[in-house]
Chain A
Amino acid sequence: MPILVSDFSALTDDLQSIFNEVAKRKVSENVGFSVFNVFDTERRTYDHLVLHGISGIKKVASGQDLPKVNAEQGDDISWTQEYYGAIVDVTKAMRKFDLHNQIESIVRSISDDAFDKVDQSLADRLINGWSTSYTDVYGETVASVGPDGLELFNATHSNPVTSNTFSNIISDGTNTNPALSRQAIVYMIAQGLKHKDPNNLVRPIRYDTLVVSPELQDIAERICNSQYLPGSANNDLNPLKGKIKVLVWPRLALSAAGTDADAYWYLYDGTGIKETLNCLFAERPSLDAPEQVYENKNWEYSIDFFYAIGTGFPAYIAGSKGDNS
């Protein structure tokens, strides 16, 4: 039976339920949404301020005025959201000949595309964390520097207050960018806990999550989840068990531009990561009811969204390319 104008509401409900089903599945599957701090904002350009440390707490004598906080000038960065979307045409022929299955497939596929591209764009920010710019999943060149003008992963992140620097490139104590190993994780946990702010006050970074591509899943699980120390002869307990959560992110294996990143791995502080990796939406992906185009009688459904990825204070994540570079 042909799909008539009177069936428009029913078809729209059908397609929206397909979109909602895809959205629900993708939001739960896409690892990027659990790594990045995803939030909604009505501002197209979002200004973010990184404060590297505030000093001011002092002993107050009886009757003395409280000292004023000396807010150190931080670094600012702004992220501007861009508009993404596509039109899904339901043509006259599709309706006339009741190609309902074909219509559903197109909507399902384009809905997948929207969420897959957002997730890949998030993964690409990590994979390209050693570059100042890269080509994103939409084919655009994007700058990936943080507020200090350096790549996300750099050995000398700076601050405006002192000449102190810090590295968030993973090391095992001997090499930087080492292959995934227990030694490197243990070393980085210790380094994180000793992290100092520009005023030399210890402000611990508590690495509690390991993010890997599927290629490294096996070794990651064994390092972090074995009850006993892997490879030890005397069944030593594994101190990492229960302390490091393993996240396997399939899109970390390959960037949209084709960079093979199977060996890359990342450690982050689950509490502080929102200061580092942000994904802001002015409008989340949605399927909107169509307008009819009279020239060809197509019903044009649209899927569109506004979003941006923003990197802030880089200390809460560390990365390794796994090649000892």
Chain B
Amino acid sequence: MTTIINWAKLVKENRAKSLGISWTPAEIKAIHEDGMNPDDVRAGFLSKADVEKANAEPGEKKLRYMNRAELIEVAKSLNVNFNESVVTRGDLILEIENKKEALSEDNAQKPQDNPNSASPSLEQ
């Protein structure tokens, strides 16, 4: 027997972690008792101190520590194709990582392309 609930609505209302994933008791405690931002809890933080520590880390902010709005900005800057109203945080992270990987492969191939492009003239 199948039970279907409106996960999209629950996620939008911050009453579920993600589509098909309920909050754990520790996460619920962090949100309701400690007053944490649900997006930070989705990113894996269970205390405000951990959020501050991660934000204070030097360098680019890790994708898993970004909230949905931040991920959307990054995805747009990388021209990831997605529907903003329904895309999940997890899928955004995956797509951004895939896009970054593809870009870094392209960049890595560019220096090799130059010698190859010169080779026909050598053969000639």
* Chain A interface (Cβ < 8 Å from any Cβ of B): 45, 75-82, 132, 136, 142-151, 155-156, 158, 160, 163, 165, 307-311
Contacts and interface: CB of A to CB of B under 8 A. Distances in A.
Contacts, number: 67
B5 interface: yes
A308 to B, nearest CB: 4
B3 A145 contact: yes
Residues of B contacting A: mostly: mixed
Contacts of B3: 77-80, 142-145, 310-311
Contacts of B22: 132, 145, 149-151
A4 to B, nearest CB: 42
A219 B23 CA distance: 35
Contacts of A156: 28, 32
Contacts of B41: none
B15 A160 contact: yes
B7 interface: yes
A311 to B, nearest CB: 8
Contact of A160 (B5, B13, B23): B13
A309 B4 contact: no
Interface of B: 1-7, 9-10, 13, 15-16, 22-23, 25, 28, 32
B89 to A, nearest CB: 16
8 contacts: A77-B3, A78-B5, A80-B2, A80-B3, A82-B1, A145-B3, A155-B25, A156-B28
A145 B118 CA distance: 63
A92 to B, nearest CB: 37
Contacts of A165: 32
B4 A158 contact: no
Contacts of B9: 75, 160
A83 B28 CA distance: 37
Nearest to B25: A155
A160 B13 CA distance: 7
B1 A79 contact: yes
A310 B4 CA distance: 10
A79 B2 CA distance: 6
Contact of A77 (B1, B5, B32): B5
A73 to B, nearest CB: 9
A151 B21 CA distance: 11
| 6 cross-chain pairs, A with B, having the tightest CB-CB distances, nearest first | A149-B16, A308-B1, A80-B2, A149-B10, A158-B15, A156-B28
Q: Which of A136, A148, A310 has the most CB of B within 10 A?
A: A148
A307 B4 CA distance: 15
